[in-house]
């Protein structure tokens, strides 16, 4: 590609802002049609260097060349308009609000992945650029909801899971529409809060809990952005069976104590949002040794109807397709160990016990099942394989009262 062409494009991009003193052009995105095919081309200036990429993952293809010719041609193109006062950039296009910039960045990400295809998106420069822009315009530090979405999306792209990618992008599209709403509804504010935290002036819906006994059955580190890994802890109310998630970013604070543990919660706030709902424990006492009666209570409050578990899973995903990561506590009537491990309730409805994760903890669980150990309860994340809902075991209890963290 001609060096003169690139230099001409750089000069014109720099001159656009310098001519008015209002600002500088850092990134320019345009749709270019060549031989009947439309691609999105992004030109960006970084440290004086011009970077070019199109949505077909090429940086020197015909669409990039056409974009450079267009921009370079603007440098010498005669202006046919009559002489007059130069109108500033700010007067031509009002400055966008942070919410609008974030919505546009989400749209760019959706467009980049859709155009390049899920199978090629993992290594596509256009997708990388769209993710970089999304993180750049997001609040700082990156909110846990948005960070977790990015981590899950990158993981789904690596494994080329088309259905899961489509679900994540559907939720992102919903957020973009919500951010553009002139007068957000309470439901819209709830969605924004789940992704980005409560906005200034918003009144998020919070449920207050008093005098509850909760058992933490497990915790894990989850993928987010490079600077925003997330620790999630799963707490179960021994009276109602309700499941909550306590979360903290790396180097942030959370309630004290090792896992497993029992918390005597004096006061806690529970946010509205995707299940399991996020909890902030404000006043509590820690019991590192969980009493036997509390383990027995988990068996008593665990779900014994897998139809209800499946229906709740589907409702949760429909309400929040990008952020929902359902977690369930079940009491299986029996376990089938014939090749594929399955849990059955008393009416014969099943939940497949997922073996796709090859982590040592999951493998250890199946080794216990293969030895004939009967779990009194199982706790784990719910996923799906097509129309089949699966549970990935996270922790279990046995009828002799022992607890096994996986």
- Residue 150 scores a pLDDT above 70: yes
Residue 143 has pLDDT above 70, yes or no: yes
Is the pLDDT confidence value at 97 over 90?
Answer: no
Of residues 88 and 339, the one with the higher pLDDT is: 339
pLDDT of residue 280: 93
Mean pLDDT of 85-111: 68
* The pLDDT of residue 225: 74
Residue 302 — left, alpha, or beta (φ > 0 → left; ψ -120 to 50 → alpha)?
beta
Q: What is the pTM of this model?
A: 0.75
Band (110; pLDDT cuts 50, 70, 90): very high
Exposed / middle / buried, residue 91 (Cβ in 10 Å: 0-12, 13-18, 19+): exposed
Structural domains in the chain, CATH included, are 3-74+96-179 (no CATH), 206-297 (2.40.50), 302-405 (2.40.50)
350-363 mean pLDDT: 72
* Predicted confidence (pLDDT) per residue in 361-386, tens digit: 667 777 777 777 788 999 999 998 87
Does pLDDT of 204 surpass 80?
Answer: no
Report the pLDDT value the prediction gives residue 359, as an integer from 0 to 100: 61
Q: What pLDDT is stored for residue 41 in this prediction?
A: 79
Which residue is it, tokens 């009537």? 333
Give the pairing of strands 350-353 and 388-398: parallel
Residue among 346, 363, 376 at smallest CA distance from 406: 363
pLDDT for 298 beyond 80: yes
Check residue 16 and give its pLDDT.
60
Task: Identify the pLDDT of residue 305.
Answer: 95
Structure confidence at residue 122 (pLDDT): 85
Q: Is the model's pLDDT at 300 over the cut of 70?
A: yes
The pLDDT value recorded for residue 79 is 42
Average pLDDT of the chain to the nearest whole number: 82
Q: Report pLDDT for 362.
A: 66
Secondary structure (DSSP) of 239-272: TT--EEEEEEETT-------SSEEEEEEEEEEES
pLDDT tens by residue, 65-94: 888 788 777 544 444 444 333 333 333 344
- In Å, what is the CA distance from 22 to each residue of 13, 50, 63, 182? 13, 21, 30, 27
The mean per-residue pLDDT over the stretch 321-337 comes to 92
Q: Rounded mean pLDDT of 140-161? A: 89
pLDDT at 76: 45
Q: For 170-179, how does the pLDDT look when each residue is reduced to its tens digit (9 = 90+)? A: 999 999 999 9
């Amino acid at each position: 590609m001609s060096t003169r062409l690139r230099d001409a494009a750089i000069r014109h991009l720099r001159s656009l802002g310098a001519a008015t003193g209002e600002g500088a052009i850092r990134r320019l995105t345009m749709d270019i049609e060549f031989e009947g095919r439309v691609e999105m081309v992004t030109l960006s200036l970084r440290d004086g260097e011009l970077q070019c990429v199109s949505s077909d993952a090429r940086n020197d293809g015909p669409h990039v060349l056409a974009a450079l010719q267009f921009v370079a041609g603007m440098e010498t193109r005669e202006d046919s308009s009559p002489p007059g006062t130069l109108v500033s950039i700010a007067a031509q296009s009002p400055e966008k609000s942070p919410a609008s910039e974030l919505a546009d960045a989400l749209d760019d990400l959706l467009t980049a992945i859709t155009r390049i295809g899920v199978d090629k998106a993992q290594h596509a420069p256009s997708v990388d650029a769209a993710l970089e822009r999304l993180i750049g315009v997001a609040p700082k530090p990156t909110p846990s909801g948005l960070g977790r979405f990015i981590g899950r999306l990158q993981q789904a792209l690596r494994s080329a899971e088309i259905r899961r990618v489509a679900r994540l992008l559907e939720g992102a599209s919903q957020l973009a529409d919500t951010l553009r709403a002139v007068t957000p509804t309470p439901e819209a504010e709830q969605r924004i809060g789940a992704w980005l935290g409560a906005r200034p002036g918003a009144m998020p819906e919070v449920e207050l809990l008093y005098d509850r006994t909760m058992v933490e059955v497990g915790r894990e580190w989850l993928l987010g952005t490079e600077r925003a890994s997330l620790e999630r802890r799963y707490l179960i109310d021994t009276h109602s069976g309700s499941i909550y998630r306590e979360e903290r970013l790396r180097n942030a604070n959370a309630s004290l104590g090792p896992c497993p543990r029992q918390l005597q919660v004096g006061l806690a706030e529970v946010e509205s949002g995707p299940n399991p709902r996020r909890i902030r424990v404000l006043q509590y006492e820690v019991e590192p040794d969980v009493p036997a009666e509390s383990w027995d209570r988990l068996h008593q409050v665990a779900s014994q109807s897998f139809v209800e578990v499946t229906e709740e899973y589907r409702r949760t995903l429909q309400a929040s397709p990008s952020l929902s990561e359902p977690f369930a506590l079940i009491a299986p009537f029996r376990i089938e160990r014939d090749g594929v491990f399955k849990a059955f309730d008393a009416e014969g409805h099943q939940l497949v016990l997922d073996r796709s994760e090859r982590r040592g903890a999951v493998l250890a669980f199946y080794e216990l099942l293969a030895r004939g150990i009967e779990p009194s309860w199982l706790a784990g994340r719910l996923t799906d394989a097509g129309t089949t809902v699966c549970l990935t075991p996270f922790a279990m209890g046995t009828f002799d009262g022992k607890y096994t963290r996986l």
